[in-house]
Structure 1
Amino acid sequence: MGEASGDILMFPYPLQGHINPMIQLSKRLSKKGFTVKLIIASNNHREPYTSDGYSITVHTIHDGFFPHEHPHTKFQDPDRFTDSTSRSLTDFISREKLLNNPPKALIYDPFMPFALDVARDTGLYTVAYFTQPWLASLIYYHIKEGTYDVPVDKHETPILASFPGFPLLSQNDLPSFACEKGSYPIIHDFVVSQFSNLLQADCILCNTFDQLEPKVVKWMDDQWPVKNIGPVVPSKYLDNRLPEDKDYDLGDSETEPDESILSWLEKKPAKSVVFIAFGTLVALSDKQMKETAMAIKQTGYNFLWSVRDTERNKLPSGFVEEALKKDYGLVAKWVPQLEVLAHESIGCFITHCGWNSTLEALCLGVPLVGMPQWTDQPTNAKFIEDVWKIGVRVKADDNGFVSKEEIARCVVEVMEGEKGKEMRKNVEKFKVLAREAISEGGSSDKAIDEFVAIFS
């Protein structure tokens, strides 16, 4: 196969959980010979910059909002975002096409279906890249097609949902807006609209791997031209063919690793620490935050908890200071999650079950305690517990609240219960499968090469 050349444009949805998988695919394509231009829609203009070690340049285009407006305003006004960003993207591509080495393709996030229309109108090969797994995206697809009808009232009509390649799903296993009509209307429209024009895409990529969702993938193969190219976790923690690829940064990060965290972990016995992190968007209620803290304290295990500054005041008074003084716990505002999950002292990971966090734990062999909150997280949690059997999911009450007894029960089960031993074996098995998929000759590696060959 000849080496690829030319420009590829990458257009992630402007949330970190969507940008990171785009960055990782960009790195892989850069090493295959492409020049990659990563386009970020933002209300904060930044001069283009090129990454260290990769042929990747990051550009910002205007998303239609003003610098004084909160970045999340775009989620409340999606029409304004779509109108402005589609114009900005059209202008950007039009300028790029006048260059000596014009772009060949646009890889876009289906959260922005307008990007496909822009790419086709400007003559580019169009590639949809799902950064979430098929197990979530297919539910959105069936809602769009009308083959699954969202109940009017989840309490009056509790049902088991059936989808091709899936286990039966209870309402607690479905994405949050799929349980009841009218709940989360903006998110509903976002995720369902991904499929509004998808059949026009020339190619479809997904951040999963064949061995992780085999039944779902088998069904998918009969529907669309899909290539599963995941897990797109930094190479250092997988195949190590890009040894410099140790995080999601492009050499422009201002966040330095907190050596004190890793030094603290070094002093703890193997598999003795409970790691807790709920991602960049999830905000637990004050009551749930305090309940979680009391649960962790009740178990008696060492713990490391990533808590944003804005959430810290929700912790019980004296909780942080006591844990630090007695050296059984550490609360940090920023944690190098991959390095932490790779550390031998980590025994389990309490997580919101976001897809990136789920993949990272799976790739690093860490069993999970799932506390899903919304969107795809409940479905991810279902697969974690009942399909892959690499963790346990807490049981919430009708209001979504989880008691300290329930959290503690789940943590103890994973850390030292009989089921926990099985979970550990299973997650180690998937760790091997993930590495095989992305390593040379693996299913995802072949899929990437097949994609590259289109432009060679």
Structure 2
Amino acid sequence: MGEAAHGHLLFFPYPLQGHINPMMQLSKRLSKKGLTVSLLIASNTHREPYTSDDYSITVHTIHDGFLPHEHPLTKIKDPLRFNVSTTRSLTDFISREKLTSNPPKALIYDPFMPFALDVAKELGLYVVAYSTQPWLASLVYHHINEGTYHVPDDKHENPTLASFPAFPLLSQNDLPSFAREKGSYPLLFELVVSQFSNLRRADLILCNTFDQLEPKVVKWMSDQWPVKNIGPMVPSKFLDNRLPEDKDYNLGDFKTEPDESVLRWLASKPARSVVYVAFGTLAALSENQMKETAMAIRQTGYSFLWSVRDSERSKLPSGFVEEALEKDYGLVAKWVPQLEVLSHDSVGCFVTHCGWNSTLEALCLGVPLVGMPQWTDQPTNAKFIEDVWKIGVRVKADDEGFASKEEIARCIVEVMEGEKGKEMRKNVEKLKVLAREAISEGGTSDKNINEFVALLT
């Protein structure tokens, strides 16, 4: 992967971990093809630039307009301050870099920050939008922006099926949460829809998916936009292994060795006997839903590994953690090396919120899913998981979004030992092969990455 190439690229992810990780992974692959990368993180705390030992990647922080004591998610609640300050910081950074001996040629930005495109165009850079969400969600936002889909005033008032080009019909529950009802999450609605406000001015659009996963949608997109799919952007060790040092989403600045206690515990369990449960870094289930999920897992009788952040732990039933540990049928951990866990023989299924990074990881490692989507793109991902790719089942919730322990348990048992579960396992194994082929030498995503490098060198 080390062909001679020259050039300096700027990467500008939206500053949430789920958006930073796929940007980081693409920057690693481009760095190994000889390009120099500056990864810019908009933050309210300054950190000295850090250069990786393994890659020609330097991480810089630029100021996002917030004070060090303000919560990182304040940027979503006060987008105007974030946009104005970060526009200024980005302009200053690029202007300074243009005066160096290796000025940047291109900006690869997250379309959640459309102002970045305007800044880079004005400063004469080649501008690349990089969507870290799948087309299947982004296209719904595109149709809202174009006015070809109108969000209903009340989600109960208009329970018709939504029809989009190259999509299966979507019910209200299959749509991204912002597209179900006007006025729900207004700031986030603005954030996801505004990414299409100036996207036609981008020179190129990259997406963390692969052609064989969304073929109809990809074909429709390619007829409208300059699109290249470059995914799945999962650490190379778990895919093509052409970057043997690429074992996680870090750059070597935080050396996180896999948690041996978790992996030791998994190693003591039979093949495909463990239910792995994790709801990502942002989703927060209600206390009732956490308790109901815990009772459902206990009801199935399977061993389980559950990743629960410290802030969520108090929502678990009293004595649940201790009893599972004492009887050795379950482990609740505050941090789990998810890729190592999903690749472990003892894991039989993954109970997930259906965030895109988690969905891709499960798919790349051949693990069928039990979907409990919460918001944003997750309901649409869950629709494709269950009805299009047939690699998992979606837990059916009531009108208030609450899932009963009986329904959660039914879905887990279905995947772990039902007839449909066997089909799901076969289907996910097929997609695992296609994902690896796409990113391996000569695959569709690999070719797209090489064509992208050729454009810039």
TM-score tier (shorter): over 0.9
Separation in structure 2 between the aligned mates of residue 296 and residue 235 of structure 1, nearest angstrom: 32
Q: Which residue of 1 aligns with 2:66?
A: 65
Q: Which residue of 1 aligns with 2:369?
A: 368
User: 4+ runs of 1 displaced by more than 3 Å?
Assistant: none
Asked if 1 retains the 8 angstrom alpha-carbon contact of 2:106 and 2:127, the reply is yes
Matches within 5 A, 1:125-274: 125-253=126-254, 255-274=256-275
Q: Which residue of 2 aligns with 1:417?
A: 418
Separation in structure 2 between the aligned mates of residue 125 and residue 396 of structure 1, nearest angstrom: 45
User: Residue 6 of structure 1: CA displacement?
Assistant: 1.7
Pair 1:359-2:360 in alignment: yes
Q: Which residue of 1 aligns with 2:297?
A: 296
Separation in structure 2 between the aligned mates of residue 101 and residue 44 of structure 1, nearest angstrom: 27
Q: Which residue of 2 aligns with 1:121?
A: 122
User: Residue 3 of structure 1: CA displacement?
Assistant: 2.7
Separation in structure 2 between the aligned mates of residue 455 and residue 2 of structure 1, nearest angstrom: 13
Q: Which residue of 1 aligns with 2:393?
A: 392
Q: Which letter does structure 2 place at the counterpart of 1:192?
A: V
User: Residue 97 of structure 1: CA displacement?
Assistant: 0.4
User: Residue 253 of structure 1: CA displacement?
Assistant: 1.3
Q: Which residue of 1 aligns with 2:50?
A: 49
Provide TM-score, normalisation by structure 1.
Answer: 0.99
User: Residue 51 of structure 1: CA displacement?
Assistant: 1.1
Identity of paired residues, percent? 82
Provide TM-score, normalisation by structure 2.
Answer: 0.99
User: Residue 256 of structure 1: CA displacement?
Assistant: 4.1
2:340 alignment partner, SS class: helix
**CA RMSD after TM alignment:** 0.9
Q: Which residue of 1 aligns with 2:403?
A: 402
2:195 alignment partner, SS class: helix
Distance 1:352 1:2, change over 3 A: closer
Q: Deviations over 1:305-357 (max 9, x none)?
A: 00000000000000000000000000000000000000000000000000000
User: Residue 134 of structure 1: CA displacement?
Assistant: 0.2
Separation in structure 2 between the aligned mates of residue 387 and residue 257 of structure 1, nearest angstrom: 33
2:224 alignment partner, SS class: coil
User: Residue 52 of structure 1: CA displacement?
Assistant: 2.2
Q: Which letter does structure 2 place at the counterpart of 1:193?
A: S
Separation in structure 1 between the aligned mates of residue 264 and residue 179 of structure 2, nearest angstrom: 44
Q: Which residue of 1 aligns with 2:381?
A: 380
Pair 1:284-2:288 in alignment: no
Q: Deviations over 1:360-400 (max 9, x none)?
A: 00000000000000000000000000000000000000110
Q: Deviations over 1:36-57 (max 9, x none)?
A: 0000000010000011210000
Separation in structure 2 between the aligned mates of residue 172 and residue 265 of structure 1, nearest angstrom: 35
Q: Deviations over 1:159-185 (max 9, x none)?
A: 100001100000000001101111111
Asked if 1 retains the 8 angstrom alpha-carbon contact of 2:258 and 2:340, the reply is no
Deviates more, 1:145-154 or 1:418-427: 145-154
User: Residue 19 of structure 1: CA displacement?
Assistant: 0.1
